[in-house]
Amino acid sequence: MKKSYSPLYSFKGRICGSKSSNKLQRCRINRKEIAMESIIKTHIIVLAMTFFLMPAFPVSSVTVKSENEDLDARVKKFLETHDWGWGDMNVPAVDGQTLHDIVVKNQYKRAVEIGTSTGHSSIWIAWALSKTGGKLITIEIDEGRHREALKNFEKAGVSGFIDARLGDAHEIVPALEGPFDFVFSDADKYWYKNYLDALLPKLEVGGCYTTHNVSSRGRGRRGVGRSSSYLDYLYSLPNLETMVNNRGAGLAISYKK
DSSP 135-151: EEEEEES-HHHHHHHHH
pLDDT of residue 2: 46
Q: 220 pLDDT exceeds 60?
A: no
Find the mean pLDDT for residues 120-129: 97
The CA radius of gyration of the chain, in Å to the nearest whole number, is: 32
Phi/psi at 119 (5° precision): 105, 5
Task: Pick the closest to residue 200 from 166, 242, 228 (CA basis).
Answer: 242
Please provide the average confidence, as pLDDT, over all residues in the chain.
82
Q: How confident is the model at residue 62 (pLDDT cuts 50, 70, 90)?
A: low
Percentage of the chain modeled with pLDDT above 90: 62
| Sheet containing 240-245, strands listed edge to edge, beginning at the edge strand earlier in sequence | 162-166, 135-140, 110-114, 180-185, 203-212, 251-256, 240-245
Window from 69-73, 76-80, 175-179, 225-229 with minimum mean pLDDT: 225-229
Residues whose CB is less than 8 angstroms from the CB of residue 171 and which lie 6 or more positions away in sequence, other chains included: none
Q: 54 pLDDT exceeds 80?
A: no
pLDDT of residue 209: 98
pLDDT of residue 69: 85
State CA 209 to chain mean position distance.
Answer: 17
Q: 223 pLDDT exceeds 60?
A: no
Residues whose CB is less than 8 angstroms from the CB of residue 127 and which lie 6 or more positions away in sequence, other chains included: 71, 72, 75, 100, 156, 158, 161
pLDDT of residue 236: 97
Residues whose CB is less than 8 angstroms from the CB of residue 176 and which lie 6 or more positions away in sequence, other chains included: 112, 137, 198, 199, 202
Window from 14-18, 44-48, 180-184 with minimum mean pLDDT: 14-18
Q: Considering Cα of 177, then 183, then 188, then 190, what sign does the dihedral take?
A: positive
